[in-house]
Chains A and B, each alone.
Chain A
Amino acid sequence: MVPIRPSEITPEHIYLSRRKFMLGLGAAALLAACGRLPDTPEATVMPEGAATSEALSTPRPTPTQKPDIKTAFDAVTGYVNYYEFSLDKEAAAILANESLQVSPWTVTVGGLVNKPRVFDIEEILKFEQEERVYRMRCVEGWSMVIPWLGFPLSRLLKEVEPLSNAKYVRFQTLADPEQMPGLGDMTFPWPYIEGLRLDEAMHDLTLIATGIYGWSLRPSNGAPLRLVVPWKYGFKSLKSIVRIDLVEEQPTTFWMAAGAGEYGFWANVNPEVPHRRWSQANERRIGETRRIPTLLFNGYADEVADLYPDLTNKDWFF
């Protein structure tokens, strides 16, 4: 991974209010997080030889490599893809923040598990939360750097004890036409379904996020809980989860069912495998000018590349 250490990041004004919030999350998280907080804004350049020196990718010069600076709170929460509300990124954020009812909320975790269970959102928040600053690379060619709060999905899955024949995890976003005007668009196969192979789901980087920037998650970012898989294109990280099932067969995702052959199941970030209609070679950080090169596995190749045998197989990147 090309690490994003908190010390490399410009803290936002919003951090001033995070201590108050963190109190609610337990003293351990509070101490851990505050201990890492820098006092002054500071941004250092990423380490040299960014993580692209893996199998498929010849190391390339990185002419515009820039330090990872956290994307402004307003952009992270106000500029989103949330088709259940609108195809327009800003309209979707406004509509979601206006109308999504995030409590009460339950998540049903079942399928091929020993102990199927319905979690109340309060129970989800009792998992020890930690901050993770991740790059988020959208398949459309833009990216953000986002400080999430949450916990590894593996902890939730361990609670329900997956059976040995469980091979994949299938996730489902809320689909409530009362709250989500975008569901009227019948060209899409609602509800939004995503999936991971079990070992991807159990990977330590794979997060269930419940907060952002030290706050609880905004509806526009998929409150009250969402998935974050930082080495895959953003559409894999579905929002506002209501159901998680362990299954034997590879799930058919929303975008696979949409049928246009646009986005596949694996969707691992790779600058050298273009989308059918556009290049993925570089990306635009929201709030910054000048493009930066996209990194293999979004810069997390050291952590996740061995999940995928034979990286010359382009299927991993579709």
Chain B
Amino acid sequence: MMRTFLKRHGLKLVIHLGALVPAVVMALQLARGSYLDPIRQMTTASGNTALALLGLTLTCTPLARLTGFRAVLRVRRPLGLYTFSYAALHLLIFAGWDYGFAWDLLIPALFTQRFVLAGLAAFVILLALALTSTRGWQQRLGRWWKRLQRWVYAAAGLVVLHVLLLSKTPDKALRYGIVLVLLLVLRWVPARPSAQGASSAPVTKD
């Protein structure tokens, strides 16, 4: 009973618990006052978490195609939604905490700085994907739904650009860019026979 539960839901459990860890760590650090510059350090932590989760989200499909391990497809949606949640937290810290929703400062900050524009564009895509991730929207959009979800790669590319534009040295962005290109290339690698159709498998099982 327990074994079958874990077998069916173990991975999902790991994802749900694991995705909460960064938030808990951030909250604890903040409460203990161990951030010397909490605004920037929380911005960085939430941004990096969002990026890591985005990477994991994009790994699901190639992993299923290459290994036939289809259970990962069931955590693709929660991973995507956690990505969006940390990106939203990231934006909230920027707009609400750093800029205190002072619109006269915030509007120019959002729309005149290229690194922010790239981040904002990525966020808008993630928002659209999160909103249309339900079964209802999937049915409503039909075959367009899949095309829409592919925009996640554009979002990832924009995040790489975001990091490139905000860093003093390009090496971090280059590393992320290489990983992204690899993940894209893996989409063209023929799937293992047992994993046929992995990328088009419904993801709304949960």
Q: A residues within 8 Å of B by Cβ? A: 63-64, 74-75, 78-79, 87, 89-90, 142, 187, 260, 262, 274, 277-279, 281-282, 284, 286-287, 289-291
Q: CB < 8 Å: which of A63, A142, A260, A274 contacts B37? A: A142
8 Å CB contacts to A: which residues of B78-106? 97-100, 102, 104-105
27 pairs, A vs B, C-beta closer than 8 Å? A63-B104, A63-B105, A75-B37, A78-B36, A79-B37, A87-B168, A89-B36, A142-B37, A142-B40, A187-B171, A262-B168, A277-B115, A277-B165, A277-B166, A278-B113, A279-B108, A279-B109, A279-B112, A281-B105, A284-B39, A284-B40, A286-B37, A287-B37, A289-B100, A291-B98, A291-B99, A291-B105
Q: Which one of A79, A142, A286, A291 has the highest number of Cβ atoms from chain B below 10 Å of its Cβ? A: A291
Provide the main secondary structure of the chain B interface.
helix
Contacts of A279 in B (CB 8 A): 108-109, 112-113
Which residues in A have their C-beta under 8 angstroms from that of B169?
A: 87, 187
> Is B114 among interface residues, defined by CB-CB distance under 8 A?
yes
Contact residues in A for B37 (Cβ distance below 8 Å): 75, 79, 89, 142, 286-287
- Expressed in whole angstroms, the minimum distance between the Cβ of B65 and any Cβ of chain A is 37
CA distance A282 to B37 in the complex (A): 17
Q: Using an 8 Å CB-CB cutoff, how does the interface string of B4-39 with A read, 1 for contact, 0 for none?
A: 000000000000000000000000000000001101
Q: Which residue of B lies closest to A263 (CB)?
A: B168
Interface residues of B in 119-139 (CB under 8 A from A): none
Complex formed: what's the CA distance from A89 to B37 in Å? 10
Total contacting residues, chain B, CB less than 8 A: 22
Q: Indicate if the CB atoms of A64 and B168 lie closer than 8 Å.
A: no
B193 shortest CB reach to chain A, Å: 46
Which of chain B's residues has its CB closest to A76's CB? B36
Instruction: Please report the C-alpha to C-alpha distance between residue A278 and residue B117 in the assembled complex, in whole angstroms.
Output: 11
Q: Which of B157-175 contact A (CB under 8 A)?
A: 165-166, 168-169, 171
B102: contacting residue among A63, A142, A284, CB under 8 A? A63
The chain B residue with its CB closest to the CB of A90 is B36
Using Cβ atoms and an 8 Å threshold, which residues of chain A touch B112? 274, 279
Q: Which residue in chain B gives the minimum CB-CB distance to A83?
A: B168
Contact assessment for B102 and A290 in the assembled complex, using a CB-CB cutoff below 8 Å: yes
Which interface residue of B104, B165, B168, B169 has the most chain A CB atoms within 10 A?
B168
Q: State how many angstroms separate the Cβ of A138 from the closest Cβ of chain B.
A: 11
Q: Assuming A277-B166, A278-B115, what are 14 further A-B pairs, CB within 8 angstroms?
A: A63-B104, A63-B105, A74-B36, A79-B37, A142-B37, A260-B168, A274-B112, A277-B114, A277-B115, A277-B165, A279-B108, A279-B112, A281-B105, A289-B100
Q: How far is the CA of A152 from the CA of B158 in the complex (A)?
A: 47
Which 6 pairs, one residue from A and one from B, show the smallest C-beta to C-beta distance?
Answer: A79-B36, A75-B36, A290-B100, A278-B113, A78-B36, A286-B37
B39 proximity list for chain A (CB < 8 A): 284, 289
Residue of A nearest to B34 (CB): A90
Contact status B36-A277, CB under 8 Å = no
Q: State the CA gap A281–B165 with chains docked (Å).
A: 18
Question: Contact between A281 and B108 (Cβ–Cβ < 8 Å)?
Answer: yes
Q: Which residue of A lies closest to B97 (CB)?
A: A289
A5 to chain B, nearest CB (A): 26
Distance between Cα atoms of A262 and B166 in the complex (Å):
12
Q: Identify A277's interface contact among B99, B100, B113, B171, CB under 8 A.
A: B113
Query: In the complex, what residue of chain B is closest to A185 when comparing beta carbons?
Result: B169
Report if A64-B102 is in contact (Cβ < 8 Å); known contacts: A284-B39, A286-B37. yes
A277 proximity list for chain B (CB < 8 A): 113-115, 165-166
- Chain B residue numbers with a CB within 8 Å of A286 are 36-37
